[in-house]
Amino acid sequence: MSPSSASPAARWDRRHLLSVADLSRDDLVELLTLSERFAEVGRRPIPKVPALRGRTVGTVFVEASTRTRLSFETAARRLSADVLSFTASSSSLTKGESLRDTVRTIEALGVDCVVVRHGCAGVPTQVARWLGDRVAVVNGGDGWHEHPTQALLDVSTLQQALAARAGVPVEEAGVEGFAGLRVAIVGDVGHSRVARSLVGLLAVLGAKVTLVAPGSLLPASLEGWPLAGVSHDLDAVLGDLDVCYLLRLQTERGAGRFLPSLREYRECFGLSAKRAARLGPDAVVLHPGPMVRGVEIAEEVCEDPRCLVLQQVETGVAVRMAVLYQLLTPGESEEVNRG
């Protein structure tokens, strides 16, 4: 729902994180600040604080994902929480048990928070409804709907890049640098949960977002989306970008129904070395991963210093620590480093 959030959100009630629409600008700034402090924890010799000792975080990933699940579990462990991990292949979901029963089972095991990834939009919202307020629910990516922590880590990564560009420490960078920032989100926007969350968050921060995709990979309607523009021509927008955000192209889209071929997509929408050369020296390239090298991004561009993909992964852990911390320690946000 986030891309359409016209009015500023009320302050986050910190019960669940289901959509970026849950977050106001102040909540976002608070999460980014907290995330920066947790990033510092990650750089310690022993990257662990006792903030969530005795708490249990469950991950329920019904759609294949290793990266996001590992990132959440690492975040939970760095906060000293216990972790329970359910994946579709290893759980009773493959034995015909309903998701609702699985969720009930997990609740009965005594989790304080559950991170839900599912191939169908809305499942984290449904799980939150089933669990009431007894357990905090984090949307770990639902269908084409949203992936709030991915968008948070993208914004956090951009904040670091903006600070570096301005030559100031991140703690002092704030979010003013996002105002007017020219961002292109390139690729399969229609089927992208990342795009829906990112468009919402960047709008809150005042960035100017342009979607770049062939018509078959755009949502049926963009009414109400806070966009600066929509383009079907990457070359036309490339010269004026601060951020080029590439979406992963699921290779089955190239089988002829959405795109004539992967080759044609690469030729028209792939970030080749030649296209990357037209990006400014201060511009950055982001990608939510996993990258399909040679399709949406050329091999050489992956290694370009302006490509921040590994920094995104690193930032992901800190951002997810901040989210878990906010959800599980209401009213204690000033005690991050205790112990």
Partner 1 sequence: MAEPRRRTTRRAPRVLVLRGGTVVDEGGARRADVVVREGRIDAVGPDLGVPGGATVLEADGCLVTPGFVDLHCHLRQPGGETAETVVSASRAAVLGGFTAVVAMPNTEPAIDQASVVREVQALAEDALCEVAVAGAITVGRAGERLAPLGEMAALGVRLFTDDGRGVQDGGVLRRALDYARGLGVTLAEHCEDEAIAGAGLMHEGVWSSRLGLPGRPAAAEEAMVARDLALLRATGGRLHLLHLSSAGSFRLLAAAKAEGLAVTAEVTPHHLALTDACLADFDPVWKVHPPLRGGADVAAAREACASGLVDALATDHAPHPPEAKEVPLDEAAPGMLGLQTAWPVALAALHDGVAPPVGLGGEPDPGSPRLDLVRLVGLLSWQPARIAGLGPEQVGTQGGPIVPGAAANLAVLDPACRWRLEAGALASLSRNSPWLGATLTGRVRHTVVAGEPVVVDGEAQR
Binding site for partner 1 (CB under 8 A): 1-4, 98-100, 118-123, 125-126, 129-130, 142-146, 190, 193, 196, 219-225
Smallest separation, CB 81 to partner 1 (Å): 27
For partner 1, the closer CB: 99 or 241:
99
- In this structure, the number of other CB atoms found within 10 A of the CB of residue 133 comes to 10
Smallest separation, CB 141 to partner 1 (Å): 10
Smallest separation, CB 104 to partner 1 (Å): 11
Smallest separation, CB 127 to partner 1 (Å): 10
Quote the CA–CA distance of 112 and 137 in Å, as a whole number. Answer: 9
For partner 1, the closer CB: 203 or 241:
203
Quote the CA–CA distance of 201 and 185 in Å, as a whole number. Answer: 13
For partner 1, the closer CB: 226 or 254:
226
For partner 1, the closer CB: 102 or 315:
102
The residues pairing with 245 across neighbouring beta strands, listed in sequence order, are 185, 286
Where is 325: in which H helix or E strand? Answer: helix 309-328
Smallest separation, CB 67 to partner 1 (Å): 20
For partner 1, the closer CB: 228 or 309:
228
- Share in percent of the chain as helix, strand, coil (round to 5): 45, 15, 40
DSSP 256: T
Smallest separation, CB 148 to partner 1 (Å): 13
For partner 1, the closer CB: 141 or 270:
141
Smallest separation, CB 13 to partner 1 (Å): 16
Quote the CA–CA distance of 246 and 184 in Å, as a whole number. Answer: 8
The residues pairing with 136 across neighbouring beta strands, listed in sequence order, are 113
- In this structure, the number of other CB atoms found within 10 A of the CB of residue 72 comes to 29
Smallest separation, CB 193 to partner 1 (Å): 6
Give the position of tokens 């062939």: 214
Phi-psi map region of 296: left, alpha, beta (phi>0 left; psi -120 to 50 alpha): alpha
For partner 1, the closer CB: 28 or 189:
189
Q: In what order do the strands lie in the sheet with 243-246?
A: 229-231, 208-212, 182-186, 243-246, 284-286
For partner 1, the closer CB: 142 or 296:
142
Quote the CA–CA distance of 140 and 130 in Å, as a whole number. Answer: 17
* Residue from 74, 17, 53, 27 nearest 318 by CA: 74
